[in-house]
Amino acid sequence: MKSIAIFGSTGSIGTHTLAVIARHPDRYRVYALVAHAQIDVLWAQIRQFSPRIVGVADPLAAVALRARLHAELKDTQHCPEVVTDPLALAALAADPLVDCVVAAIVGVAGLASTWSAVCAGKQVLLANKESLVAAGQLMMTAAQASGATILPIDSEHNAIFQCLPAGVSPPDAVLKLVLTASGGPFRSLPLSEFSNITPADACRHPNWRMGPKISVDSATMMNKGLEVIEAAWLFSMPPDRIEVVVHPQSVIHSMVQYADGSMLAQLGRPDMRTPIAHALAWPERIDSGVAPLDLCAVSGLQFEAPDRQRFPCLDLAFRAIEQGGAAPLVLNAANEIAVAAFLDHRLSFQQIPQVIEATLEAALMGTEPAAPESIEQVLTQDARARTLAHRLLTKINPHPENSTPATESST
């Protein structure tokens, strides 16, 4: 029986993970659930899975949850301990009673718990790509020292993991990693209409159901840029041997090209339960609840090069990883600030890459950026980059009330 702690349990990855776990009560036990503030969703998860510990990052939400627990579960064996202190939340990932940590908190907010799990030598199911973008060298070095196993559950990285021999880093026989991208909701939208894009439009992904931040990242293709950086660390692959291909059907989730001319691809329906089930059971296979792919029903598979004019964020990500050091960290911090501003109607869709590029240029100023040497330095540099991005955001868009149509409601 494997004991699981899920960080980000109320988000898309967390709920999909619990859906897989629910199909295999004989194999998995939910030890801990950690969420930010979605108490109603978390409450339903508590009732279904009876975790021993529940973490809530938002203090007011924690008060509300404790009151509900006291009223309904106080005198039962299913009443969990509630943890709210940030240090205690991070330490929960290293709990000796936890076998596997699902790292699904979005953004650098998930860095502390992921770092704690890696340093404790846990099996880490990684969806929090920002941890590797901001602290890739530190994370991979710590995993090697502690014996931690990092299993990617992003569909693209999980596909590459499956296509590599025995799931190890690429040997010389591997020529290239090919990350597929759907192209998002604006792949064929005329550029002249980009000024009218609203947060609701950007969150309306054609293939995947995801949270607002990652949906916007998919729409700008920054998500694919972050995945390139993550893949470079996960698979010890130079960025010039990582390619991005737009594949609108999202049937092939990524590919590996070999020196003998072979190309291995992992196919499946666009459903996150598939990579999650693969990582949960690895090296075995279990039922994910996803229907098998019917190849005869697939009308066709289309591939095209990404439009760099349409998706400037992809070039910014490649530029950051090529520059190295703190550049990927700055890129991620600026992107988180810009996306949050767009979702809050304080920035237009087209201004997202402008804020990111301006922040990169101002933070690095053409010099060789120093790579952080500790997690504390990562957090310090991240905070500085966010402050800079906030300042530049107000310069790029001094009139946020005009960023999105007045009739658009907040996402």
Which pLDDT belongs to residue 72?
82
Which pLDDT belongs to residue 79?
86
Segments forming the whole domain that contains residue 110: 2-152
Count CB neighbours of 46 within 10 A: 24
- Whether 247 maps to a domain, the answer reads no
- Whether 161 maps to a domain, the answer reads no
Structure tokens at 179: 């990350």
Q: What is the pLDDT along the chain (411 residues), one digit of tens a residue?
A: 999 999 999 999 999 999 999 999 999 999 999 999 999 999 999 999 999 999 999 999 999 999 998 888 766 667 899 999 999 999 999 999 999 999 999 889 999 999 999 999 999 999 999 999 999 999 999 999 999 999 999 999 999 999 997 655 556 789 999 999 998 889 889 999 999 999 999 998 777 677 889 899 999 999 999 999 999 999 999 999 999 999 999 999 999 999 889 999 999 999 999 999 999 999 999 999 999 999 998 878 999 999 988 899 999 999 999 999 999 999 999 999 999 999 999 999 999 999 999 999 998 875 656 788 999 999 999 999 999 999 999 999 887 765 655 444 333
User: SS3 sequence, the chain?
Assistant: CEEEEEECCCCHHHHHHHHHHHCCCCCEEEEEEEECCCHHHHHHHHHHHCCCEEEECCHHHHHHHHHHHHHHCCCCCCCCEEECCHHHHHHHCCCCCCCEEEECCCCHHHHHHHHHHHHCCCEEEECCHHHHHHHHHHHHHHHHHHCCEEEECCHHHHHHHHHCHHHCCCCCCEEEEEEEECCHHHCCCCHHHHHHCCHHHHCCCCCCCCCHHHHHHHHHCHHHHHHHHHHHHHCCCCHHHEEEEECCCCCEEEEEEECCCCEEEEECCCCCHHHHHHHHHCCCCCCCCCCCCCHHHCCCCCCECCCCCCCHHHHHHHHHHHHCCCHHHHHHHHHHHHHHHHHCCCCCCCHHHHHHHHHHHHHHCCCCCCCCCCHHHHHHHHHHHHHHHHHHHHHHCCCHHHCCCCCCCCC
Q: Please tell me the distance from the alpha carbon of residue 4 to that of residue 92, in angstroms, as a whole number.
A: 11
- Whether 41 maps to a domain, the answer reads yes
Pairing of strands 252-258, 174-181: antiparallel
- Whether 141 maps to a domain, the answer reads yes
Pairing of strands 2-7, 100-103: parallel
Q: Please tell me the distance from the alpha carbon of residue 166 to that of residue 177, in angstroms, as a whole number.
A: 16
Which pLDDT belongs to residue 369?
65
Q: What is the CATH number of the domain that holds 74?
A: 3.40.50.720
- Whether 349 maps to a domain, the answer reads no
Which pLDDT belongs to residue 7?
97
Structure tokens at 150: 């990092």
In this structure, are residues 71 and 43 in contact, taking their beta carbons and an 8 Å threshold? Answer: no
Which pLDDT belongs to residue 198?
93
Which pLDDT belongs to residue 206?
75
- Whether 246 maps to a domain, the answer reads no
Which pLDDT belongs to residue 411?
30
Nearest to 344 by CA among 272, 310, 393, 377: 393
Which pLDDT belongs to residue 405?
54
Nearest to 333 by CA among 195, 226, 177: 226
Which pLDDT belongs to residue 403?
64
- Whether 139 maps to a domain, the answer reads yes
Which pLDDT belongs to residue 402?
59
Place of tokens 């494997």: 2
- Whether 231 maps to a domain, the answer reads no
Query: How many structural domains does the chain have?
Result: 1
